[in-house]
Amino acid sequence: MSALQQLHTMTTIVADTGDLSAIARLKPIDATTNPSLITKALIHPDNQAMLSETMSRHQGNVDTVIDELTIQSGCNIWELIEGRVSTEVDARLSYDTKATIDKALEFIDAYQKAGVDSERVLIKMAATWQGIEAARYLETQNIHCNLTLLFGQHQAVACADAGVTLISPFVGRILDWQKRQQSRQNVPVSEDMGVQSVKLIYQYFKQHCYATQVMGASFRSVEQILALAGCDLLTIAPDLIDELAMMEIDVTRQLSPSMSMDLAAMKKVSLTQEEFSNAYQQDKVTQNLLPKGIDGFIGARDELAKALAAMRD
């Protein structure tokens, strides 16, 4: 079997793309996107007529158009997969619990009106304290959440305590940060802080029997992916999926609930908002990457808004 086929026996493989042709070809169980990927897919020349028609129907209201296009993209992806599709709330709402909840409810209502089973939708938001609290409430309403832009153990602990369905720790972005901080061009996977972070989170969740799933994300290489074989889910870009499909090597499971139980016991904690804030202030990785990630997603939305505004004008 190829490395990809072996990985499938240990981990749920998720396609990290908004490209419908790639999703149709790869046939993943789940699919996850972010504003950058959705923007890239929507501004493709093949979609210009659809964008123009949507703008006309909403009389040029860019925010309304972007929300509708987001849902339409989710519906299109949903039709191609058997599992769940993640739909991200506007990153501008990342520090507003109520606004995040309201937008999530609006998205779920739109999906239901489109005939999409909301059980197969994950509402995606940044793992700020406000985003995690929004997810805590939404989960009580049987609305499943995917907390993204997750870089620190304190974020993961708070997500598990809030009962969120899924978290997406960003492996590659942590590695990028590590390389900059350590002035290194290459970091062996055994020293990769992104890989180590996911392993630590997985260990904590399994030792304390949390239902929250761990989905490694933002990969830079197949070596990072294989170092997390056995993680609940891995969301992988199409080019790396293709690379795994071409590899003929033996894949060794690196993570499992039983393996986690054999490791040193980790103390279970529950963080107050003040403790969460203190942990954030002590975590240089999250301090740097979380706001930068939010700004990046806002920038992607702004890019789409500019393209739509140009059509309107």
Q: Taking Cα atoms as reference points, which of 290, 52, 43 lies closest to residue 156? A: 290
Count of beta carbons in the 10 Å neighbourhood of residue 29: 14
Residues 6+ apart with CB under 8 A from 199: 228, 254, 255
Count of beta carbons in the 10 Å neighbourhood of residue 196: 16
Distance CA 203, CA 217 (A): 17
Do 29 and 282 contact (CB within 8 A), yes or no? Answer: no
CA distances from 77 to 16, 38, 45, 230 (A): 11, 11, 19, 25
Q: Taking Cα atoms as reference points, which of 228, 2, 127 lies closest to residue 236? A: 228
Q: Taking Cα atoms as reference points, which of 84, 108, 20, 103 lies closest to residue 213? A: 84
The catalytic position among 40, 98, 124, 292 is 124
Do 15 and 245 contact (CB within 8 A), yes or no? Answer: no
Q: Is 124 assigned a catalytic role?
A: yes
Distance CA 278, CA 292 (A): 19
Q: Taking Cα atoms as reference points, which of 253, 244, 252, 256 lies closest to residue 5? A: 244
Q: Which residue is listed with tokens 């963080």?
A: 271
Distance CA 62, CA 308 (A): 7
Q: Write the burial class of residue 186 (CB in 10 Å: 0-12 exposed, 13-18 middle, 19+ buried).
A: exposed
Supply the residues annotated as catalytic: 124
